[in-house]
Amino acid sequence: MMFASLIKNKKIALIESNMKIGEKIKVSGGAKCNITNQFVSYKNYLGDEEFTKDTLESFSNKDLLEFLNENEVYPKVNPKIVKGTYFCNSSSEVISMFEKLTTHTKKFMNTKVFDVEYDKHFKIKTNKQTIEAKKLIVASGGLSFESLGASSIAFDIAGKFGHTIEKTKPALVGFTVQKDQFWFKNLSGLSCLVETKVGDKTFEGSLLFAHKGCSGPVILNSSLYWQKGKMSIDFLPKKKLENFLKGNKKISSAFPLPKRFMIEFLNSISLEDKAVSSLNSEEKEKLKLLKNYEFAPAGTFGYTKAEVTSCGINTDEINHKTFESLKQEDLYFLGECLDITGELGGYNFQLYFAQGFVCSKSM
C-alpha cells in the first residue's frame, strides 16, 4: 500500500485476500497502530545489518512522521509498552489514509493468489481470475495471523523463481516452559517488570505469566533472538539483592515483588518463607536466582500467537536499492517475507514503510 500510494500515473492493481485493506494494521498496537519508534536503529533488527541500515537511512522515522502528518495522521509517543513507541489515535485512521491514497489503483478484494507464472510478463492465478502484469511486487507477509489471511504464498512464489528461503519461525511471541518452570503457569495473569538476557541482547520491560508459560513485551522481544537453549531473567532489575536481606520480614514480604510471585518462586527452589534475618549462606545463595534466573524455554506459542514471522527470503538475493529479485527481472519482495525482522515497538512498520518508499522511488 505504501508503494501504491507513492506511484502515480501508472496502472497499478492491488490484490488482497481479505474483504478490506489493512486488516493486520487494524489489530496492531491494540488497535492503535504502533507505527514507528523514537529510537529506530538497524540494531533493533535481526537480519542483514547493512541492508537494514541502508533502507532506514533512505526513509527515516522523521520522514515517516512527516508523511503521516501531511496526510492528517498524528502519532504520539506512548512508552507504556516499549520505550519510544509512536501510536496513532486508532489503526482505522491509518487504513483510511491508505484508502484515500490508493483510489487510483484497481483493487481485487477477497482474492487469493494460488500461483504465478512468467512468460514475457507475469500471470497471477487467483481464485477468481488470472491477472497479468509487467511487474510484480509481493508484500503478502509471513505465516503469522492466518486468521487475517496470512499464508506461505510469498515463500512459494520466491521458491518457484529460485530464491533461498531461510527456515521461518514465529517471532515476537510467548514462550512455553519445561517442567522446572511449570510454576510460571500458577501465576497466570500476573505481570512484573524484569530484565531478560538472550545471547548478547538485553531487554527490560513487562513479563506476563500465562497459562502456557510467559509472555509480555520483554518476552516477545526476547523470542526474536532466542535460538533454543538458555536465557535469563532478572526479577530485580537495577536493584541489589543485599538491600532486601535485612530485618525480620518474611522473604515473601521483604522483596519488592508480588507476594503471589514470591510464594511460587520460593516453592520452586524449595525454600521456606521465613524471616530474612534467619537465612543462612546457602539459602541466601538460592535467592540469587532472583537476579539471574536461567531457563531454557520449551518452545513458543506458535504462529497463531506470533506478531510476526522471522527469517524468510534470503536478502543476498534481493537488490538492496530497489528490492527487485536478483533471480527474476521485474519481481520484487517487500515486508515480512524477507529475512529481516524488527523488535516490538513500531520497528517493523517503520521498516515496511521504508521498503515501500525505496521500491517506489526506484520505479
Q: What is the pLDDT of residues 180-233, one digit of tens each?
A: 999 999 999 999 999 999 999 999 999 999 999 999 999 999 999 999 999 999
**300 in Cβ contact with 223 (< 8 Å):** yes
Q: What is the C-alpha separation between 293 and 288, in angstroms, rounded? A: 8
Determine the CATH number of domain 175-300: 2.40.30.10
**145 in Cβ contact with 308 (< 8 Å):** no
Looking at the DSSP assignment, which residues form a beta bridge with residue 28? none
- b vs e for 298-307, b when ≥16 Cβ sit within 10 Å of the residue's Cβ? ebbbebebbb
Q: In whole angstroms, how far apart are CA 176 and each of 69, 142, 183, 295?
A: 41, 22, 12, 11
SS3 state of residue 359: helix
- State how beta strands 76-77 and 85-87 pair: antiparallel
Looking at the DSSP assignment, which residues form a beta bridge with residue 87? 34, 76
C-alpha dihedral sign at 69, 71, 77, 83: negative
CA angle 352, 325, 36 (to 5 degrees): 5
Q: What is the C-alpha separation between 81 and 83, in angstroms, rounded? A: 7
Q: For the CA atoms of 347, 351, 352, 357, what is the dihedral angle to 10 degrees? A: 140
Tell which CATH classification among 3.30.390.10, 3.40.50.920, 3.50.50.60, 3.10.129.10 matches the domain 2-168+310-362. Answer: 3.50.50.60
C-alpha dihedral sign at 147, 170, 64, 1: negative
Tell me the domain boundaries of the chain: 2-168+310-362, 175-300
pLDDT at 80: 85
Asked if the domains 2-168+310-362 and 175-300 are classified in one and the same CATH topology, the answer is no
User: Among all chains, which residue has been given the C-alpha cell 489515535?
Assistant: 89
pLDDT in tens, the chain (363 residues): 666 667 776 799 999 999 999 999 999 999 999 999 999 999 999 999 999 999 999 999 999 999 999 999 999 999 888 999 999 999 999 999 999 999 999 999 999 999 999 999 999 999 999 999 999 999 999 999 888 888 999 999 999 999 999 999 999 999 999 999 999 999 999 999 999 999 999 999 999 999 999 999 999 999 999 999 999 999 999 999 999 999 899 999 999 999 999 999 999 999 999 999 999 999 999 999 999 999 999 999 999 999 999 999 999 999 999 999 999 999 999 999 999 999 999 999 999 999 999 999 988
pLDDT at 146: 86
Q: Is 329 exposed, middle or buried (0-12, 13-18, 19+ CB in 10 A)?
A: exposed
Q: How far is CA 352 from the centre of its chain?
A: 12
pLDDT at 149: 86
pLDDT at 18: 95
**18 in Cβ contact with 145 (< 8 Å):** no
Kindly state the cell numbers that stand for 230.
Answer: 538458555
Query: Which residues contact residue 1 at a Cβ distance below 8 angstroms, ignoring those fewer than 6 apart?
Result: 14, 21, 22, 98, 101, 102, 356
Name the packing angle between helices 49-58 and 347-362 (round to 10°). Answer: 70
Q: What is the C-alpha separation between 141 and 338, in angstroms, rounded? A: 9
Element (H, E) at 123: strand 122-126
Half-sphere exposure of 224 (CA within 13 A, CB side): 26
